[in-house]
Amino acid sequence: MTRRREFLQIAGIGLPQLLSAADSAVAKNCIIFFLEGGPCQHDSFDPKPEQTADIRGGFKTIPTAVPGVHFSELLPRCAQSFKKFSVIRSVYSKEAIHEKAKQYIFSGSRPNNAFKHPVIGSVVAKEFGPRAGLPPFVCIPKKDISADAGFLGAAYDPFITGDPARKDFKVQDLALPAGVSLEESAARARLLAGMDDEIRAAEKSKLVEGMDHFYQKAFDLVTSPAARKAFDLEQEPAKLRDSYGRNAAGQGALLARRLIENGVRLAAVFQGGYDSHIRNDEASKKTFPVFDQAFAALLGDLDDRGLLASTLVLAIGEFGRTPHINHSAGRDHWPGVFSIAAAGAGVPGGQVIGSSDAQGGAPKDRPVSIEGLGATIYKKLGIDYHKEYRTNGRPVRINSDGAPVRELFG
Amino acid sequence: MPPLVSILLLAAGVDVSFERDVISILTTKGCNSSGCHGSPAGQAGFKLSLYGSDPAADHTVVSRRIDLKNADNSLILRKPSFAAPHGGGHILTKSADEYRVIQQWIEQGGKRNASGPRIVSIEITPREQILSAPGAAANVTVTGRLSDGTTRDMTREVRYAVNDEAVVTVDATGAVKAKGRGLTTVLARGMGRTATAQFIVLDGAAASVSQRAPTNFIDREVFAKLREVRIEPYPLSGDDAFRRRVYLDAIGVLPTTEELAHNGLASARPSGEQLARLGPCRSGLCAPAEAAAPLDRAKLIDELLNRDEYTSHWLVKFEDWFRNSQYYSQGRTNASYKRWLAEMIRADRPYDEAAREMITATGDTTVHPAGNFWHPAIDFMLKTFEVSKATPTVTRLFLGQRIECAECHNHPLENLTQDDFYGMAAFLGRTKVKHGYAQYRRVWYNTREGEVLHPVSKQPVAPKFLDGTTPAVNAERRDALAEWITRTQKMQFARATVNRIWAEYFGAGIVEPADDFRSTNMASHPALLDQLAQAFIDGGFRFKPIHRLILNSQTYQASARAPGRANGGDPLERVLLARYEPRKLPAEVLLDAVGQVTGVPQTFGNYPEGTTAKDLVASIGSTYFLTTFGHPRRDIMEPRSQAPSLAQALHLMNADAMREKIGSPKNVLAELLEKTLDDRAGLDALYRRAYSRAPSEKEWRAAENFVGAEKEAGRSRRRAFENVLWAILNSKEFQLNQ
């Protein structure tokens, strides 16, 4: 397309500068741990022990591996592992409805009425394509209505795994149906190839080319033992599986590690239950410990395998929760300020970036925008996020106006 | 070709004009493009109007960046010349003419002389040009029309862009160079105005084109354009191909075996018993015994348009357009809206009347379903009606005009401003909604006051139509809006509507995207579109006559492929409609077709038996199959994705649901294998069910060999046929309409 060249012309960026941008791509992979519903900043990385109970909430604080920094007592393992990751306490959003807020943080671009922006994973899929026969963008365990390719089209939608903690876990449509051997599958695939021969030989449209391409990839996935193994958690030692937690989020995080190890570029693990409008403390007691175990285990495991240096790991939610506890002992949606965690791919450990005000309601210093988070991820992955896509003739930048969080670049 | 304005200026030492010269430079250098300082948020704290649409505002912000005592010290020069760090890079050298023009303007006082005539529009000529071969050169001229009636050559003061640089390229002087066969648009932008020209590049081979008698005006227009570029239309499709195509396109189902026989597909197959007696076929007996009578296509088209499936098939498309989604109505009135739309389609109700009913709807939507039209404009959480969402919906659906860009900034490709947007929005300023019954019941009503405020001036905006006219003072605003759309603008209303129908049949509109009409988006066949729109008006805004015109045309009935042709490899053939462009079956049609071929229709939760995928009411939470194959959420106004994907391939190959249908003891194979001992008869039946045709001798042999080999591999006859069925459902011919 013309746009790229035009952009380069306008920006006056020559090839050498671009190359150096690609060189600085430290992240070969990315894992996003998504805390769905809006995790409470007070109950996690930004406790407010000096506040009254209606703000502080029901949890105490504990020291972390970094002197002077405290987390909520719900995150003991994260506290111990704090040398492995950074926390930003001053992220803010502008959307307070789940779907829109998720779309905002998944895409790094604010939702609008004119078009639907692709999410970061879809952009990664488009820019880099598949690696080692595996889909580039995977969501674990389910499809999220806010996490799709938008105007880029279904070809860049995430691949969905299903819940890996289930006893009968099997990735949807990935394995041959029960009772069909590889030999039988190959035989009928040959029959199919013969049936398609005539159209394939004569038809030159992109559509048929595309269908062919995906069938080929599907056959590769189904028949390649390595690809199928990537989804097979049974290959992991029981002890390691235990360490992540035998639940959807824990096993999901482990699956994410297996997948990026084998070729997936961006894996998103969803853990629900954070939308604590009623009885916040009870909700937090159920959710955060699961996250604590899984996230700490993931960072440790990645580090042990030497993968942390090349894998950007983020723990994010769509927004935070109200500083004041409501009449139902819950907390409501609060995009004003919330915390996220980031690790790997050159992100320094043990660092607290920014802070919130006394009640945990607004950024006090170093406010970090959603666009900035998006730009950070793109920069880590070596994607030129000023690049323009086009939808219906309209230029749309991959990320508009975001500045990468420089503290995450060491 | 005039020399660069800047050179003239410098030579003569004349006064530099901010509007004419400085903004031109900001435009040609891309400074005020949407990717840089022209973006709604500006760039690095410096915001220019998009392509110079607002010279006054631009002058204000540029004046803050000039140093009258030392022009070279001005930020506006130091940044682009890299004397100061500039995120946008090194744009100008100090010796560049453009640098010197801006320098001279600053030295002359940096004033904006706003008194002179201003540019009201720009034109690019020629508007359409055919270049004979790659390498050929041409020039475009851009002329600015000024407010005093004079014109000015602006060829070197605008910024050019080309939609498809594989076809032509254009440089800053307006010199066009042909690169490769195809059709593309050249866009010129300057002083906030845009103009386009269309270029067709041929590859030099001057083939002769035969004269073909058109069936109706569609063919007349399409053939004329093809002749102009010396492309022969593809031959007419055969009866088998046409029959399957028209069933799928017009009513969304495959013809049944009985319908095939009735409609002339030779069914002269010996029965299983006969075959068993005769032994394996060696004599050609099994090939269609006699040539079938040619299909009466016009009669078939009429029959199809009167079937119930016509309604259910087109209903899904209307639901897509009108976004009948649980996401917006919480499931309570999806069904009543669906029924209302269905009745409109079934009765072929005049569409102008239906549109007026929707636009002016008031009352409880459970009782007056037309009001569901407004539901996508309700803020999900706040339960309020959002004028900014509703306004572009109305213009886009009924007039094919996208004005949502202008909500936030002046439209970059159309002479449409934020003021125009809010003038239209004002028609909805007195529309209100009330929520009752646990917030699920909605009642629409009008108030006597209430105004929309302009986001910048915060002043109430008076209602004003896009054409600049205003409604009668006392008119109820939505009534006035409905009148204006369906009566005053009836030609555009008709164009936008028939273009949508056209896009469903041809995979692209005559204006494409089908709901993006603007002066800078040229129609491929403007005269055809106008005639089709006129036919729609003359027929009382009824859809069926339009379907009939399209389906009976040779343009629609052309083959998808022909020997020795490009068969999809030539972009020109696609745009100019030389052939029928194969398409994937839409999600609902495909799922229903899988059910039809296997004899195991999909069941949907609590829906009664016989419910098809097209009949489902809720659009979110529908089956994995439907969403995977492109059934949209209908949350935003985007055409549904027709792209193939990995998930689709995996699903048809491996899904449990597919396996269950193929392996079901009650499916088509049970009956088929019981009825016939002859494998050929079984294969013949499967081909008819899936492809609406009999297999060729070669295909028969291939499938027969497969079944034989399967048996040798130790698999049962039943299992062998299951694998044939699997291959058929995964084949391109099954998944495509072609």
pLDDT in tens, B289-343: 445 678 999 999 999 999 999 999 999 999 999 999 877 776 678 889 999 999 9
Nearest Cα of chain A lies from the Cα of B115 at a distance, in angstroms, of: 32
Helix (H), strand (E) at residue B257:
helix B257-262
A 156-195 residues with CB < 8 A to B: 157, 159-160, 172-178, 183-184, 187-188, 191-192, 194-195
Nearest of B189, B185, B187 to residue B200 by alpha carbon: B185
Nearest Cα of chain A lies from the Cα of B365 at a distance, in angstroms, of: 24
Q: How far is Cα B14 from Cα B11, in angstroms, rounded to an integer?
A: 8
Nearest Cα of chain A lies from the Cα of B194 at a distance, in angstroms, of: 13
DSSP assigned state of B147: T
Using CB atoms within 10 A of its CB, is residue A225 exposed (0-12), middle (13-18) or buried (19+)? Answer: exposed
Q: What is the per-residue pLDDT across B442-493, written as a single tens digit (0 to 9) for each?
A: 899 999 988 999 888 899 999 999 999 999 888 899 999 999 999 999 999 9
Nearest Cα of chain A lies from the Cα of B203 at a distance, in angstroms, of: 18
pLDDT at residue A7 greater than cutoff 70: no
Q: Around A298, how many Cα atoms within 13 Å sit in the side-chain half-sphere?
A: 36
CB contact under 8 A, B736 and A393: no
Report yes or no: B46 and B11 within 8 Å, Cβ to Cβ: no
Enumerate the H helices of B324-444 as residue ranges. Answer: 326-329, 334-346, 351-359, 387-399, 405-408, 418-425
The reported pLDDT for the residue numbered A24 is: 53
pLDDT at residue A23 greater than cutoff 50: no
Neighbours of B451 (CB within 10 A): 13
The reported pLDDT for the residue numbered B55 is: 85
E strands within B118-256? Answer: 119-125, 128-131, 137-139, 141-146, 151-153, 159-162, 168-170, 175-178, 182-190, 193-201
- Contact list in B for residue A401 (CB cut-off 8 A) is 39, 41, 43
Question: Greater confidence, A241 or B116?
Answer: A241
Q: How would residue B622 be classed by pLDDT, with cut points 50, 70 and 90?
A: low
| SS3 per residue for B152-180 | EECCCCCEEEECCCCCEEECCCCEEEECC
- Taking one residue from A and the other from B, the number of pairs with CB-CB distance under 8 angstroms is 210
Interface test with B, best of A100, A199, A277 (most B CBs within 10 A): A199
Q: Around A43, how many Cα atoms within 13 Å sit in the side-chain half-sphere?
A: 32
How many secondary structure helices (H) and strands (E) does chain B include?
Answer: 32, 15
A 65-124 residues with CB < 8 A to B: 96-97, 99, 112-116
* A153 in contact with B, Cβ within 8 Å: yes
- Contact list in B for residue A212 (CB cut-off 8 A) is 732
Q: How far is Cα A288 from Cα A337, in angstroms, rounded to an integer?
A: 18
Nearest of B592, B598, B591, B595 to residue B672 by alpha carbon: B598
When mean pLDDT is compared across A10-19, A53-62, A129-138, B543-552, the lowest value belongs to A10-19
Q: What is the per-residue pLDDT across B679-693, written as a single tens digit (0 to 9) for each?
A: 888 899 999 999 999
B 564-603 residues with CB < 8 A to A: 566-569, 574, 581-584
Distance from CA of residue B575 to its chain's centroid?
Answer: 13
Nearest to A199 among B402, B728, B732 (CB): B732
In this prediction, residues B389-405 reach a mean pLDDT of 91
Q: How far is Cα B218 from Cα B210, in angstroms, rounded to an integer?
A: 17
- The CATH architecture of the domain made up of B119-201 is Sandwich (2.60)
Q: How far is Cα A191 from Cα A194, in angstroms, rounded to an integer?
A: 5
Interface test with A, best of B635, B646, B723 (most A CBs within 10 A): B646
Q: Which residues pair with B436 in a beta bridge?
A: B441
Q: How far is Cα A398 from Cα B422, in angstroms, rounded to an integer?
A: 29
The reported pLDDT for the residue numbered A9 is: 36
Interface test with A, best of B650, B659, B686 (most A CBs within 10 A): B650
- Contact list in B for residue A12 (CB cut-off 8 A) is 86, 88-91
Largest CA distance in chain A: 75
Enumerate residues 6+ apart whose C-beta is below 8 A from B53: B191, B192, B193, B410, B417
B 602-661 residues with CB < 8 A to A: 620, 624, 627-628, 630, 633, 636, 638, 641-651, 653-656, 658-659
Enumerate residues 6+ apart whose C-beta is below 8 A from A61: A47, A49, A70, A71, A72, A73
Nearest to B732 among A175, A208, A388 (CB): A208
pLDDT at residue A225 greater than cutoff 50: yes
> Which residue is it, tokens 């993968």?
A307
Q: How far is Cα B218 from Cα B529, in angstroms, rounded to an integer?
A: 9
Q: What is the per-residue pLDDT across B104-133, written as a single tens digit (0 to 9) for each?
A: 889 888 888 776 777 788 899 999 899 999
Q: How far is Cα B688 from Cα B240, in angstroms, rounded to an integer?
A: 10
Q: How would residue B403 be classed by pLDDT, with cut points 50, 70 and 90?
A: confident
Report yes or no: B376 and B323 within 8 Å, Cβ to Cβ: yes
Nearest of B504, B416, B428, B433 to residue B463 by alpha carbon: B428
Q: Which residues pair with A136 in a beta bridge?
A: none
Rg, chain A, Cα only: 22
Q: How would residue B193 be classed by pLDDT, with cut points 50, 70 and 90?
A: confident
Helix (H), strand (E) at residue A86:
strand A85-91
Report yes or no: B307 and B339 within 8 Å, Cβ to Cβ: no
Domain boundaries, chain B: 5-107, 119-201, 237-326+582-738, 349-488, 491-581
DSSP assigned state of A168: T
- The pTM assigned to this predicted structure is 0.84
